[in-house]
Each structure stands twice: as C-alpha cells, then as structure tokens.
Structure 1
Amino acid sequence: MLNDKPKLPSLSRRGLMQGSLSLAAAGLAVPAWARGQTLTHARRGFGELSGDVIDLTVGEHHFSTGGRSGHAIAINGSIPGPLIRLREGQDVTLNVTNNLAEDTSIHWHGLLLPFQFDGVPGVSFPGIRPGETFTYRFPVRQTGTYWWHSHSGLQEQVGHYGPLVIESEHAHHMPDPRYDRDYVLLLSEFTPRHPHDIARMLHVGEHYFNRQMTTVGDGSLTLEERLMWGAMRMNPRDISDVTGDTYTYLVNGHGPADDLEFMFTPGEAIRLRIINGSAMTFFNVRIPGVEMTVIAADGQEVDPVTVDEFQIGTAETYDVIIRPGDGSHAFVAEAMDRSGMGIASITSHAGHRATPPPLREPVTLTMADMGMGAMDHGAHGGMDMGGADAGEGGMDHSMRDASLLPDSVDLNAGVDMVAPMPVDRMDFPGLGLDTVDHRVLRYTDLKAANPNPHRMPERQLEIHLTGNMERYMWSFDGKQFNAVTDDPIRFGFDERVRVKLVNDTMMAHPIHLHGHFFELVNGAGMMNQPLKHTVIVQPGSSATFDLTANEPGDWAFHCHLLYHMHAGMMQTVTVRPFPEGEG
C-alpha cells in the first residue's frame, strides 16, 4: 500500500558533487585489518529493531562460515545487519554512525521517501564520512518486504546490508489470516577476497571465476555451435561473473555448513519473505515437495500464484506462503549458474536437518540469449556468424551493426554486441528454468492485487543495456556513468512514460530505479500491471514498463549486479520540476 508524498527538504547539487568527489579520497583510507588491528567476529544472522528512533553503527569486523573467513563490514555487529521493522504511517528517524576508515551510506531499497534521504553518494547526498553520524528522517508511506544496503564503493559485497519489513498500520490489531508464522530469508554471498581484487580479476579476464566453461568433448555443444561461439569470442556458459568458486552462498548470514533451521508446527501456514540481498547472484528458489504461493513481488501485493520454483534476481523480493507437512524440508537457493547453493531446513523437529538435492547440470546459453529472437540452436541454421576476418575481433559486422540502434546509443569500444532481433521475454522463467518439468514463476503470471489508476503513456523512451565482456565495461546506451557529468535521464514531474529496456548483452541484468515503482507491461490488464522497483532483463531481449514520474528529485538508475554498476551501468534520473512549495 502506497500513500501521499511529504514535502522535501533542500540540498544543493554543488554539495552532492563535492560529496561524490570525496568518495575517491575516502577509498584510499587504510582499513583497520590492514593496520594490524584485531577485529571482532561479526555475528551470523540478525536481530530486530523497531520504533520511531533507530540507531545503526557501521564497523569493521571479521566473518567466517564453513571453511572461509575474512574481512567484513557489519552493522550493529551482525551480518546481515538488523531487521528493521517499521509501521505504515509512522515518522522514522534512523541515525547511522560510520566507524569505518572510509565513507559509507545506506540506501533504503524500494522505499518511497524524499530523495535527499535515498542514500546514494554523489546523486542524492554527500555520503557519511568516517566518525560522523547522518540522520535519515522520513514518513513511512507503504507496506511490504524490502531491504537496505550500502551504496558506497563495493561495501555491499562485504556485509553492509540488511532486511526491512513494513507492517500495515492496522497489523497490531488485525492479523493477516493467510498465515500463522512469518519468516524473513535474506539471500547473499560471502567471499574472503577483497571486492576490489574481484573487480580487478574481472577486468583481467571475465571468465576468471568460471569453472564450468564448455570444453571439446563435453557434449554440451555440436561442432557447428562450438565454431560459431568461438568465432564470436564468446562462451555459452557466461551465466554469472562471480561464482561458487569464490562465493559461499548465505541464508540470513549462514552458509550451508551452519545448519540453519526454521521451526514450524504441523498444520501451520508460513509466510516467507525472501530477499535477494546478494552482490552478483541470481538464485533459483525451491522447497522440493512443497509448493509456494506467491503473494507479493518487490513488496507489492499480487494475485496469488502457486509455483514449485522461481528465479529471484539481485535486489528483488518475493513473499510466498507455504504449508509444509510434518517433518523437515530443504529450502534451496541455487545459484543460477548452478555452482553452489544457499540452504536451510524448514522443520517441525528441532535439530533435524533436511537433505538438499544435488546441484543440477550447468546452464548453456542459446541463440535467443544472443538476441536472435525466438530462434533456438537448430533454428540458427547456416547463418554466417563470421570468422577471423569478419569484423572487429573476429565478430560479424551484424553483431555490431549501428543501424540496429537508435541515435542515442554510442557504439564504441565499450559495446561488443548489438542484439539483432531482441524480443520481449516477460514469459521467460529465467536461465536454466525453461526446461524443468514443474511450475515456474514468470513475470507474465504477476497481476497487481489492488487495481492501479492507469494513464496512457505520453511518450516512449528506449534505453539499451550495453557492455563489453572482454574489457569488462558496462553501460547504458554505450555511456558509462560518471557522477560529475550532468547528463541525466530527464522526466517531467508526473509525466507518464513507457520505457523499453533492450539488452544488447548476453547476460541477464536486474535493473533498479530508485524512489519509484513502475508497472511491468506484462500482458496483465491495464489496471492490474504489477508494480515493481527492479526488473530482470533477459539476455538479448527487451522488457517494458510504464512509469509515472511522481517522485521529484534525483534518483539512481542502475544494474543491481554490483560489479556491473561499479563498471559503469548506472545513470541518474532527474524528475523536475518540484511541486509548488517543495524542493
């Protein structure tokens, strides 16, 4: 549920730009672990905070799970940070104290609030300097399942994130009759590698962490297919940039070796609030033998949809209701590339662990993922994909054909592919899930439970997701983000715009717009297009949403894969003018 907007405090753009420039200097600060100081161990899992005033402290810690341990950033001493539970209609004050040797921030992911409190350094505020406390104040205007995380550098990777739940203002005296028990499950990763080392390794070789590359004789490709992919200097196993080779996948901060369990009493209905708080991982979520009824997406209620599995992109949230039978059931969050999984037990017997299924076979991309429309491997036929003399880098000119792009796209060295025939794939369940023999959620299944006031779009905007895998460059319309360059995407206040995202790359991208919900154009009725704040755009395809730009200010718009955003796939959205009396 969403309600009216408050008036906005003021903040100068000059101050924001100065703040963004200070981040570069802050990135040179030497952390405590590098200065030889002993770090305390962060707790696995999270406590809960609520009330009108909430205090959060960001600090350096050590973290370990399974056989991996290393430096981390914890909030109030835990990873993830505390569950923040708010109430619709309250005014909340959140005091965030920075005990790091570098700047930090918190972005309230999915929340509608004045842009100055959105928490993006260089876009909406200067950031929080070492030793300082920043106070966020805003009215709570919605309900649902959300999360929060750092938007400074690569801190998200090392533990700076946590869950957030907003209850209805009537929840304390009108319990939801649909369920008896309520759990939050936050999915993420841990690696002892420093995130800047990971970024450097990806620039050196985009396949650095991939141990599932196709090889001669493995039977995954025909000779014709192998020659075709080789000519394009691409690999059909480019599913995830960072994999289980270096990641341990976490559920509420617990790795598979930690034997995390969630208790229930037989006969109960359980609400699971599932949050993908990872840096780089799409998860395929299932509970073998237990069906899940999806009731909310990105915090917004949808008509119930019963499935056996769903894919959740980085930064998305789904709420499901389950009715498990007596015994123990494995909650499985399998990485999309199938290099590992996060695991927990949902059990009616304390101490009894469910046995998870084995990892499934690795996923292999198809021609549709290359932007060849609905063509499969066989449909490709004898199309000439080029050879050693066929265009730049051995790639056929048709794969970088500027005539396929609008004038707004800069075809440069940072763009190594143009999808020749991208099609809308809202009905695609996610890489690797199109061949399973059970029910899988698709965006086309989602319908808003509460009708949305609908207006026809006043204009259309097309944005291309672009990149160069070999150089590890990512961008929108061929342009990498620079916070100091004032060239935002502009919307008029309350303008209704249909936005088409075209993915010219071979990787799926979860695209997030701050400060707004948009409506997926997914085939639902005009009044029931589902509201989301993050949308997965499948490889070589398009996705379309309708946006009413009714939240004035400056907002981040980016791929939520952390290293893609860090490498340039980000832009600022500016909504102007401010309504009279605001700004």
Structure 2
Amino acid sequence: MNGPDSQRENSISRRGFVAGAAAGLASLKIAGPLWARTNPELRAGKFGALDASTPGGIDLYIEKQEVRVDEKIGQAITINGGFPGPVIRMKEGDDALIRVHNRMHESTSIHWHGILLPFTMDGVPGISFRGIAPGETFTYRFKVRQNGTYWYHSHTGMQEQLGHYGQLIIEPAQPDPVAYDVEHTIVLSDWTFEDPHTAMKKLKTIEGYYNFQRPTLANLSAQVEATGESLGEVISKRLQWNWMRMDPTDIADITGATFTYLLNGRSAAQNPTFFARPGQKVRFRITNASTMTYYDFRVEGLPLTVVQADGQNVEPVEVDELRVAVAETYDVLVTMPDEKAYTIFAETMDRSGFARGTLAPRPGMSAAIPARRHRPMLTMADMGMMHGAMEGMDEGDETKDMESSHGAHAMNGEHKMDDKPSTSVTYPPHDERRVAPIKERKPLPIQNLPEMVQHGPDEHGAASIAMAMHAYRRFDEPGIGLGKDGRRVLTYGQLKALQTPPDRRPPTREINLHLTGNMHKYIWGFNGKKWSESKMIRFKFGERLRINFINDTMMSHPIHLHGMWMDLYVGHDYAKNPRKHTVNVNPAELLTVDISADAPGQWAFHCHLLYHMEAGMFRTVAVVRDLSGEPIDAKS
C-alpha cells in the first residue's frame, strides 16, 4: 500500500510534523527557531520533514553551526537545525512556496536539483538570480510539474561540502505505479573537517594530493595477488603508465584520506537503522548528495529492484548492486524476507571507504560488514584502447606504440573494437555560426548511432593533457571495479522509461562537447576551456537538439543540465530511452543525449563533482528566441 501513513513506520508522520512545526514557528515569531536557542551542540543525522505544498508554505533557516559529525566537532551549514536538511515533500500539481532565511554572514542559495521551474527560481547565483545575501529572505514559488525523488543543495561557493543539502520527494498526482509498504530516505554524502577551499588549494598545488593508493614497491606483491598477473606483467604495466606520466589509481581526486563517508549524516560506525517487518516491501529513495564520491550501493544478501532513476519511473530491473554517481537519485525496492538484520552497504568507487546502515525488523540489531574489495585500477580501455585494441601486440610492440604516440594518443584508426564497426567518425567542433534555420534542418538518426568517435585535430591546449584518440559507447558496462564478482550490476543500457515521455521528436542539431582536464594544474572544462574563458551555449526555444559528450579524461564526470531533461541514448527503442537530469560519462566514453529546449532563460550546465565545477567544468546555457535571425517557430 502507498498511503502516506504507511510509508514511514519509523518516523514521525508527515502531516503531524508539519502541523507541529507550523505551530512552533508561529509561537516563536521574531525570536527565531527553537533549536538555535536550546541546542548548542547539534548532531549530524537528525533531520525532519516538511511539506512545501501545504497552504502557507514552509520556512527554511540556513545557519553555520558547530555540529558533531562522527563524534568530532566540525563547522557545518545546517538547515532548520539539521544536517542533512529536512526532507521536503511536495505534491504534483500543487504550488510550492518556500521562504529561505539566510542567518549566515555570507551569501547563500538553494538549487532545486532536477526540478522543472522558471529559471528565476532555479537558485544559481550569477545565472538566474543574485543569491540570498546575509540576513535576507528569498521566497521560491513555482508550480510542481513532476513527481519522484530529487534533492536540493546550495549553488554558492563550496557550501555543499559543509552539509547544505537535503532530499526532495514529490508525490504523484495520479496513483503511484510503484507499490510498497515502507519508505526510507537514503542520503549519501562525503564530509571533511578541512576547509573545502583548503582542500581545493591542495589539489591545485600537488597532483593527487589525497591519493594514497598509488602503486609503490611496498604494494607490488598485493597487486600481483589482486590481479592474478605475474610479477613481470605487473611491472611492465607500471612502466607503461609511468611512461605516460599517468596513474592507474587516479579514480577519485579526494579520498578517505580526508573524507568521512556518511549515510543520512551518520558514519559507518554510527550505523543508522531502517525498520521493516518480514514480508514488507521497502522503498529506498537514494540520493547521492556527495561533492566528489561515487557510491556502489547494495543491501548485502538481498536483490534490489530499480524502479526509478532521477525521479523518472523506469521498467523494473532486478540487480544486486548499482553505482550511484554524484547528484543521481535512484529508487529501489527490497522485500524484507525474515527476522534477520541486513547491512546496507555503500562502498566508494575508489574503495577508500564506505557508508553503512542496517535494515532490521526491530531496534538493536545489526549485521556483519561485508568484506572490502580491492581498489580498482584504470585500464587501457579507460584510455581509449577499446576492447581488444591491444590484442595481437606483444609487450614490446605495445610499449613502442605508446612511446611513439605519447600515451593517450596511442589509439589509432587501425585498432578495432570487438563486435563493433571497424570505422569511426569525427565529430566537428561546434560552430553556432553554421547552424541552419530550423526549417532547413533534417532529422538526425535516432538508432544505430556511431559506436566510437575519433578525437579530431583539436588538442584543446594546456587545459587538456590526456586525450583518447577514440571515445566509444560504454552504456552496457558496469563501471570501473564492478562486474567481476558475480553480482548483477545496473547499467544505463538496462534503463527503459516506464512510459514514453512527451516530445520524442528526432533532434535536428547536435553539439559536441569534449570533457577535458589537466590534473597537474587542476583545470577542468569543456572543449579545453574553463567557464571564465567560454561563451554561452545557445539553444533555440522549441528546438530538439543533441549533445555528444566525449570524455577525454581518465575520470568519470556526472554532467547535470538545469531546467530541462536529457533523454539518454542507450541503443534500444527511442521511445524507451531513459530521461535523466544527471548523466555519468565514463573515461573515454562517447555518450549522447537529446534535449527539448522548452525552458526559456539562462541555465547552469556543469560537472557535478564540486571541485571540478569550481575549477572550470561549467557552462551557461541560454535558451533564446533565435540563433541566426530567423523568426521563432516552436512547433517546427
């Protein structure tokens, strides 16, 4: 059953909480929120719930306070005294009214991640509004036009790293196609007791500052044991990576060396518990609110049924594990089989730590922590050496090829992908001056898109020092470090929209964006340019267009477009392609999305790794009336 009274057996009822909160705030008036006066030591992981579509709306109070995180005191940003902030609920079709009060001595903001709304309500300072100054109140008002699991967070400076985020749940206007008995919020995040600006300075000063998992003489035998390769093979591969001046363990810029990994604000040692009775179907609403951390999520010993991705219903997929990129949300169902406790395990992609909780029928129960997996290493495939490209070479040929091609450019047109076309295409750089009027354009293909793309002649300058000569489709791959232990892992290729979303016209224009980076200088951008060096990307209102992401780097990037959906090409029926607000682009990957430009205004478009965004991987998208002077025709 899906009624609100049945969904959260271990938490206060939503309506009861809202009524109590409203009464409390009314009695406080100017005095301010009760927690600011009576709770000098806050503990992370305590947060409530609010309903933003209730008549009269809600109030959010943003403050900097000392908070106990994993038994240590840190300076955090709290929302209504909580870290994470309260779970905010809305109802599809209603009007949301949210007053945000800034009680800090610095500007702030709230961005409603994945929500369709007027750009002036999107909450990005410098793009859609000026921000919320110290002591000021900003009121967000918008019609709720969707349903599902989303989240909210600051878009000011590096405030996300300090706890400025929370989950957002929109209840559907029509009966929910997902049946469940109990619902639980899962907010995954990362926390550091360092000032995030200090962490950024360290990354810009010393490459790989937080990477303590690099290959060394001391861990040579461990690598031999973990990979099953001979000592000679391991040494040979290390020499090859050293020749390229690259590190196969460079998977996460910031690691467990400084991060504490949190589940609902609680550390693994604190082990938060979620309750369900045997036979009940549990809906976990999972949000990755991290700044830099990818999580591999599972409930040890139980299958997961994925029913929603980024707030959009999908055809159910049963898996054992799923990778949740930064800023993604997934809803999964788990049936509680018996009276036992089960470990909820969220292991970081680089294996430097984990977040943990317990699913149990009653308090006081826990289960064992699963054995930790070896940290993965990047392969030649992550450099564009695609599926057997190195086969047929002996060790000397491989090294010679790399030496002559300077590392990442070792891939050339003679190499072939297994079971893939032997030829690739070159996507020309985007030039808005050459865009044809809408009425002169022809529909682009929607199936059998190129499996790989050549990089082309542009090397992007000093802002990009590593480029695969080819990028290729990877939507059926489980991801770095997954898929070799027998667990069924969710891939993008398994996601199919439960119902065909509106506007599935073929696109008539495409934009090619290379994801570029220079780890030595810690510069990130699109097409070799930081945000400060780039021009706006312009969409014409009413058009249907395509963006091809070409990842030149060795790192994964979660790319988020504000205000509009991205329809992700995954090779099957075009009507079934999943709709997402954040797409993960793996190393050396060619990933394609189609977009309906239906939201006038200026929108942020960026990598959701906070430190990458701050270092330049950000663009402004302007949805405009025309591109080349012709009158607008939104129906064409």
Task: Tell me, in whole angstroms, the C-alpha distance in 2 between the residues paired with 1:209 and 1:269.
Answer: 40
Counterpart code for 1:333:
A
- Identify the residue that residue 489 of structure 1 maps to in structure 2: 537
Counterpart code for 2:129:
F
1:95 is aligned, of 96, 99, 102, to: 99
Give the superposition deviation at 1:65: 2.9
Q: Secondary structure at the match of 1:344?
A: strand
- Identify the residue that residue 320 of structure 2 maps to in structure 1: 308
Give the superposition deviation at 1:378: 5.9
2:242 is aligned, of 213, 223, 230, to: 230
Task: Indicate conservation of the 8 Å contact 1:367/1:380, yes or no.
Answer: no
Q: How does 1:384-423 map to 2 (within 5 A)?
A: 384=400, 386=402, 406-407=428-429, 411-423=460-472
Give the superposition deviation at 1:486: 7.5
Give the superposition deviation at 1:141: 0.3
Aligned CA distance change for structure 1 residues 122 and 379 (closer, same or farther; 3 Å) = farther
Counterpart code for 1:70:
G
Task: Tell me, in whole angstroms, the C-alpha distance in 1 between the residues paired with 2:234 and 2:475.
Answer: 29
- Identify the residue that residue 116 of structure 1 maps to in structure 2: 120
Aligned CA distance change for structure 1 residues 58 and 399 (closer, same or farther; 3 Å) = farther
Task: Indicate conservation of the 8 Å contact 2:427/2:512, yes or no.
Answer: no
Task: Indicate conservation of the 8 Å contact 1:519/1:529, yes or no.
Answer: yes
Q: Please state if 1:469 is matched with 2:519.
A: yes
- Identify the residue that residue 343 of structure 2 maps to in structure 1: 330
Give the unaligned 5+ runs of structure 1: 1-37
Q: Secondary structure at the match of 1:417?
A: coil
Task: Indicate conservation of the 8 Å contact 1:280/1:563, yes or no.
Answer: yes
Task: Indicate conservation of the 8 Å contact 1:404/1:418, yes or no.
Answer: no
- Identify the residue that residue 15 of structure 2 maps to in structure 1: none
Task: Indicate conservation of the 8 Å contact 1:466/1:476, yes or no.
Answer: yes
- Identify the residue that residue 504 of structure 1 maps to in structure 2: 552
Aligned CA distance change for structure 1 residues 477 and 380 (closer, same or farther; 3 Å) = farther
Q: How does 1:256-295 map to 2 (within 5 A)?
A: 256-295=268-307
Give the superposition deviation at 1:127: 0.6
Task: Indicate conservation of the 8 Å contact 2:161/2:190, yes or no.
Answer: yes
Task: Tell me, in whole angstroms, the C-alpha distance in 1 between the residues paired with 2:110 and 2:205.
Answer: 30
- Identify the residue that residue 365 of structure 2 maps to in structure 1: 352
What CA deviation, in whole Å up to 9, does each residue of 1:173-221 have, x standing for no partner?
x576621111110100111111001101111123111121112323356
Q: Secondary structure at the match of 1:229?
A: helix
Identity %: 44
Task: Tell me, in whole angstroms, the C-alpha distance in 1 between the residues paired with 2:346 and 2:289.
Answer: 12
Aligned CA distance change for structure 1 residues 176 and 523 (closer, same or farther; 3 Å) = closer
Give the unaligned 5+ runs of structure 2: 1-38, 225-232, 414-424, 431-457, 627-631
TM-score, normalisation: structure 1: 0.87
Task: Tell me, in whole angstroms, the C-alpha distance in 1 between the residues paired with 2:527 and 2:633.
Answer: 34
Task: Indicate conservation of the 8 Å contact 2:408/2:468, yes or no.
Answer: no
- Identify the residue that residue 480 of structure 2 maps to in structure 1: 431
Counterpart code for 1:265:
R
Give the superposition deviation at 1:224: 2.1
Q: How does 1:12-23 map to 2 (within 5 A)?
A: none
Task: Tell me, in whole angstroms, the C-alpha distance in 2 between the residues paired with 1:77 and 1:207.
Answer: 35
- Identify the residue that residue 33 of structure 2 maps to in structure 1: none
Aligned CA distance change for structure 1 residues 573 and 399 (closer, same or farther; 3 Å) = farther
What CA deviation, in whole Å up to 9, does each residue of 1:141-160 have, x standing for no partner?
00000000000000000100
* The structure with more radius of gyration: 2
Task: Indicate conservation of the 8 Å contact 1:231/1:385, yes or no.
Answer: no
- Identify the residue that residue 216 of structure 2 maps to in structure 1: 215
Task: Indicate conservation of the 8 Å contact 2:44/2:69, yes or no.
Answer: no
Task: Indicate conservation of the 8 Å contact 1:367/1:375, yes or no.
Answer: no
Q: Secondary structure at the match of 1:256?
A: coil
Task: Tell me, in whole angstroms, the C-alpha distance in 1 between the residues paired with 2:392 and 2:124.
Answer: 45
TM-score, normalisation: structure 2: 0.80
- Identify the residue that residue 159 of structure 2 maps to in structure 1: 155
Counterpart code for 1:150:
S
Higher RCO structure, 1 or 2 (CA under 8 Å, sep 6+):
1
Task: Tell me, in whole angstroms, the C-alpha distance in 2 between the residues paired with 1:290 and 1:539.
Answer: 30
- Identify the residue that residue 443 of structure 1 maps to in structure 2: 492
Give the superposition deviation at 1:64: 2.5
Corresponding residue pairs, total: 534
Q: Secondary structure at the match of 1:413?
A: helix
Q: Secondary structure at the match of 1:156?
A: helix
Higher helix proportion, which one?
Answer: 2
Task: Tell me, in whole angstroms, the C-alpha distance in 1 between the residues paired with 2:621 and 2:408.
Answer: 35
Q: Secondary structure at the match of 1:422?
A: strand
Counterpart code for 1:95:
R
Q: Secondary structure at the match of 1:44?
A: coil
Counterpart code for 1:454:
R
